[in-house]
Structure 1
Amino acid sequence: MNLKRILIAFLLLPSLELKATFQDATELYDNQSYQQAFTEFEKLAKIGHKSSQFNLGVMYLEGTGVKQDLVKAYAWVKLSDEDANKEVDFLEEIKGYISDKEQLASAEEHFNFLKAKYGTEAIVEKYKPEINDVNITEVNNIKPLKNTNPDYPITAQLKGIEGLVTLNLHVSPSGYPTDIRVEDAVQERYFKRVALKAVRKWMFTPNESDFPHVFKYRMGFQLGSPKRERLVSLKEKAIDGDAKSQYLYGKYGSFGVPYDENGHRPFNSNSWYFEAASNGVVNAQHAVADNLIEGKGCEADPKKGIAWLTIAASAGYEPSMFYLAKLSFDKGNGEQGTEWLTQAFETDDPILSYKLVSYVFDNDIQGINPKTLLKLLQSVLNSGVKNPVRTYYYLARAYELAGNLDEAIDYQEEAIEELEDLGETKIPVEFTSYLSKLKKKVS
């Protein structure tokens, strides 16, 4: 008996790694790691993923990765076929293996039990956002005062390639951008370098009182023609049920959508995120959770949001672990918060690495191994961060924790020099006083 599969498309973001546990489970099955595959399918089946429910039924039928159980085989396959009536013949075949009428009654009873917990109505009630007409906040939360258009790479123009780059950055007291990092990008290999090069020379609204604040800026690279064939193709694949495309269309579907009279783009990502989340894309599970907790484009429902965060975190998604850590600390549960943070520290994502270090220092989280912080910061430097002012400041803090005051002083001086090289004359007191403190410790 063949498992059901989902074909994953990479048409829009070949550089973006999305974690889809259904794909992982299928690969585990193909590699004959049956018990692990069963565990992964079971996780997804319990959040309403129909193909995983079907595959559980097949594995119970064959006794693959789990003890054979015809009752559970029938119940899970029937649940996967809920209201679709596509597996009638297969269900009759399974019934043929069940000769005992009492056992067949048990199979129907178990189906009703599963439907009450993991059927479509139950999953919608437990996990689905209640979409509203409120537009999700635009990505850009800062506007440049002085900017120059980035170069559009010739190769991308000739190939008709369009793209997006989302940047994270700080803004200095006089408006200089620092610690510029690429959060994600469509067609990164074409547009990452030119985006970073351009923004380094921009000026923003001065930020004298909140230098630690992280701003986002999304830069679009669009051609007049062809008109976003890739996005149209992405939407078609999302409608056809491709999980990864559903997430990507939710994330980038507003690209090119005109603004309405209120200055908003009439596009709500939540429906697409929910479909992808139910299909096992952990990035989408995290996005649904964030929107539910914050009430972005849907009614706020922290209980549902935390449920999605827990699902994504259990699949190994470090951003969800970090989110749960912050929620734990906010509720005064430092022990649980530290536990989630420790798991999130395993990330190899430089953007998340920076967020983790920032959170530790900006919230004075105690008991973190400075070697861990130094490792995370090194990954940030290796990622090509531009104007790394605050990165150097955090390195100085980490080296101080490690007891290496000479390195701490060197990096804090680097942070101040980096600001001065940009032309900043209003060096934050936070920086100068910290340098004085370090030097007094040495003397």
Structure 2
Amino acid sequence: MRNNLISGLIFSFFLGMSWLTKADLYDATLAYQNEEFTLAFSKFSRLAQLGNADAMYNLGVMYLYGQGTEQSAANAFAWFSLAKEFGIAEAFQTAQLVLQQSNDQSGLKDFLKLQKSRLSNTYLLDSTLTKLKQHSTTPTLSKTHDVLPEYPDEAVRQGIEGWVWLEFDIDQSGKATNIEVIDSYPRHVFTASLLNAVEKWRYTGSKQAHTLIYHFATHKDEQYRETLAIQKKAYEKQLRQNIDAAERGVAQVQYYIANWLSMKEYNAYQLLRYHWRSDEPMNELYLAAAKNGLDLAQYRLATQLINAGAHQLGVLWLEHAAQTMDIAKYRLATVLLNTGEPQDVPHALQVLIEASNNGHLRATLLLVNTYLTRLSDKAQAKAWLRHGLIIDPEHPELLLLLARLAENQAEAKKLASQALKSASQRNWSSHAIHLFLQKLAN
């Protein structure tokens, strides 16, 4: 009788999962429905480590029936209990039914304590929204020269809105260097326009890993205002489709909507805000997508938390994003190296090497500087310099570093001259190169 009751609870709950947490459970759920239990178990396990309560509940189901893993009442009880603690009230009754059927109730309770200790980082991840509310973000850098990006004519004509997310360094002249496109929506529509503008910007002071998310909203152009009334019906239809997708649990759409909710000037904002009325809909949606394994959302939360001073929590999200994103590997290594703890250096080197082997230039630069300044290993530094110059043969910083490692003055001068020429062509600061050349002349 109890087994039938448990089965009924499982299926009724599975059909009514909260849209905020089921998004990328889709693949795992599909694998489960196709009886690919080993694959489903693996996917649920990873999502559970991210604090996904639905994945925890489903792990309880699989342990209860021995699907994709050995049957275990202790694990079933533990995961049902954890699902309840992470927000699924219905899981408590299921856990109690498992407990009542056990001949070793104290053993199950002891095992639950062990599992909770193993999920200490997951409990911390679940405090993300609280930490974001507690901490204020750091002020953005000020510009000494600014140019508005041009809104592409075709985007204006079609009423397309979107954003571009960049990260870059800032050199001594205040210019953005080593620019990376982290994300853009729609793909390739606004990226060139923003890059052209950023090329002309100048900032006060230098700063590594500066994040910029620039939003393109059609209110900035009067031409679209004239056609907005005509396009409004089709526009609202598209938004309704996106709302439906988010509620069905599509993590990518949750992430998109979070970005739209971050900008009141979007034409989409009011309609979306009417649907998501909570105090923190943007961060709630980022967190939902992050818990469902979307690396962009994980990295977005990580950068917000680190910039806001919630260092430990930001690093945990970085660790997850770094499994698939080279920029996250780079940022994680930067944070680890800045702690000053010797035990963090091997981990930092590992992720930098992974990113560098994938062609990530900033990771290669950091790797070279780490071998030079922290480890005094010129052989490794030179090897990774050569690797970096395969990625960008005329990169001024790489050429200058290679000049510093040159075996004779003539070679050093030649490389430094190449660095100076390249810096001039890119309008990068040449201050460090001039100092090096002056030192050679003396």
Task: Provide TM-score, normalisation by structure 1.
Answer: 0.65
Q: For 1:188, what is the secondary structure of its paired residue?
A: coil
The answer to whether the Cα contact below 8 Å between 1:412 and 1:435 also exists between their aligned partners in 2 is yes
Partner residue of 2:181?
182
Deviations 1:375-419 (A, max 9, x none): 45644x49xxxxx8xx32224425765979988766543432244
Would the alpha carbon gap of residues 37 and 85 (structure 1) be closer, same or farther in structure 2, given more than 3 Å must change?
Answer: closer
The answer to whether the Cα contact below 8 Å between 1:5 and 1:51 also exists between their aligned partners in 2 is no
Identical columns (%): 24
Partner residue of 2:401?
397
Q: Verify: 1:433 aligned to 2:435, yes or no.
A: yes
Match of 2:293 among 247, 257, 280: 280
Partner residue of 2:128?
128
Partner residue of 1:364?
373
Query: Matched residues in 2 for 1:322 and 1:183: separation?
Result: 13
Would the alpha carbon gap of residues 203 and 52 (structure 1) be closer, same or farther in structure 2, given more than 3 Å must change?
Answer: closer
Match of 1:417 among 405, 417, 421: 421
Q: For 1:73, what is the secondary structure of its paired residue?
A: helix
The answer to whether the Cα contact below 8 Å between 1:167 and 1:182 also exists between their aligned partners in 2 is yes
Cα offset, 1:329, TM superposition: 2.9
Query: Matched residues in 2 for 1:319 and 1:115: separation?
Result: 32
Cα offset, 1:213, TM superposition: 5.2
Would the alpha carbon gap of residues 103 and 374 (structure 1) be closer, same or farther in structure 2, given more than 3 Å must change?
Answer: farther
Deviations 1:130-172 (A, max 9, x none): 243765457x634363536425142x33433222223445566
Query: Matched residues in 1 for 2:101 and 2:213: separation?
Result: 62
Partner residue of 1:67?
70
Query: Matched residues in 1 for 2:136 and 2:327: separation?
Result: 24
Query: Matched residues in 1 for 2:412 and 2:15: separation?
Result: 52
> Aligned Cα RMSD in Å?
5.2
Q: Verify: 1:49 aligned to 2:48, yes or no.
A: no
Query: Matched residues in 1 for 2:373 and 2:33: separation?
Result: 47
The one-letter code sitting in structure 1 at the alignment partner of 2:133 is N
The answer to whether the Cα contact below 8 Å between 2:83 and 2:91 also exists between their aligned partners in 1 is no
Q: Verify: 1:333 aligned to 2:331, yes or no.
A: no
Would the alpha carbon gap of residues 75 and 159 (structure 1) be closer, same or farther in structure 2, given more than 3 Å must change?
Answer: same
Would the alpha carbon gap of residues 135 and 61 (structure 1) be closer, same or farther in structure 2, given more than 3 Å must change?
Answer: same
Query: Matched residues in 1 for 2:406 and 2:24: separation?
Result: 38
The answer to whether the Cα contact below 8 Å between 1:318 and 1:347 also exists between their aligned partners in 2 is yes
Query: Matched residues in 1 for 2:318 and 2:149: separation?
Result: 38
Q: For 2:51, what is the secondary structure of its paired residue?
A: coil
Match of 2:90 among 85, 88, 94: 85
The answer to whether the Cα contact below 8 Å between 2:77 and 2:112 also exists between their aligned partners in 1 is no
Query: Matched residues in 2 for 1:349 and 1:316: separation?
Result: 13
Query: Matched residues in 2 for 1:128 and 1:232: separation?
Result: 28
Q: For 1:165, what is the secondary structure of its paired residue?
A: strand
Q: For 1:166, what is the secondary structure of its paired residue?
A: strand
Q: Verify: 1:223 aligned to 2:221, yes or no.
A: no
Cα offset, 1:46, TM superposition: 4.0
Query: Matched residues in 2 for 1:303 and 1:212: separation?
Result: 21
The one-letter code sitting in structure 2 at the alignment partner of 1:132 is K
Q: How many residues align?
A: 395
Partner residue of 2:193?
194
Q: Verify: 1:347 aligned to 2:348, yes or no.
A: no
Query: Matched residues in 2 for 1:242 and 1:118: separation?
Result: 29
Structure number with the higher helix fraction is 2
Q: For 2:69, what is the secondary structure of its paired residue?
A: coil
Partner residue of 2:253?
245
Q: For 1:60, what is the secondary structure of its paired residue?
A: helix
Q: Verify: 1:147 aligned to 2:147, yes or no.
A: yes
Deviations 1:158-209 (A, max 9, x none): 4332222234455666666554443432223222223323443x2535x6xx
The one-letter code sitting in structure 1 at the alignment partner of 2:293 is G
Q: For 1:340, what is the secondary structure of its paired residue?
A: helix
Query: Matched residues in 2 for 1:119 and 1:328: separation?
Result: 22
Cα offset, 1:430, TM superposition: 1.2
The one-letter code sitting in structure 2 at the alignment partner of 1:430 is A
Would the alpha carbon gap of residues 212 and 435 (structure 1) be closer, same or farther in structure 2, given more than 3 Å must change?
Answer: farther
Return 5+ residue gaps in structure 2 as ranges: 1-6, 220-227, 267-278
Q: For 1:245, what is the secondary structure of its paired residue?
A: helix
The one-letter code sitting in structure 1 at the alignment partner of 2:60 is G
Cα offset, 1:67, TM superposition: 1.7
Would the alpha carbon gap of residues 257 and 117 (structure 1) be closer, same or farther in structure 2, given more than 3 Å must change?
Answer: farther
Does 1 or 2 have the higher relative contact order (CA < 8 Å, sep 6+)? 1
Query: Matched residues in 2 for 1:80 and 1:253: separation?
Result: 29
Query: Matched residues in 2 for 1:305 and 1:177: separation?
Result: 24
Would the alpha carbon gap of residues 320 and 415 (structure 1) be closer, same or farther in structure 2, given more than 3 Å must change?
Answer: same
The answer to whether the Cα contact below 8 Å between 2:353 and 2:364 also exists between their aligned partners in 1 is yes
Query: Matched residues in 1 for 2:438 and 2:334: separation?
Result: 31
Q: For 1:184, what is the secondary structure of its paired residue?
A: strand
The answer to whether the Cα contact below 8 Å between 1:350 and 1:376 also exists between their aligned partners in 2 is no
Task: Provide TM-score, normalisation by structure 2.
Answer: 0.65
Cα offset, 1:431, TM superposition: 0.8
Cα offset, 1:73, TM superposition: 3.4
The answer to whether the Cα contact below 8 Å between 1:163 and 1:191 also exists between their aligned partners in 2 is yes
Partner residue of 1:204?
202
Query: Matched residues in 2 for 1:188 and 1:66: separation?
Result: 41
Cα offset, 1:371, TM superposition: 3.6
Query: Matched residues in 2 for 1:119 and 1:342: separation?
Result: 24
The one-letter code sitting in structure 2 at the alignment partner of 1:223 is T
The one-letter code sitting in structure 1 at the alignment partner of 2:342 is G
Would the alpha carbon gap of residues 198 and 274 (structure 1) be closer, same or farther in structure 2, given more than 3 Å must change?
Answer: closer
The one-letter code sitting in structure 1 at the alignment partner of 2:435 is S
The answer to whether the Cα contact below 8 Å between 1:288 and 1:305 also exists between their aligned partners in 2 is yes
The one-letter code sitting in structure 1 at the alignment partner of 2:354 is E
Query: Matched residues in 2 for 1:271 and 1:27: separation?
Result: 25
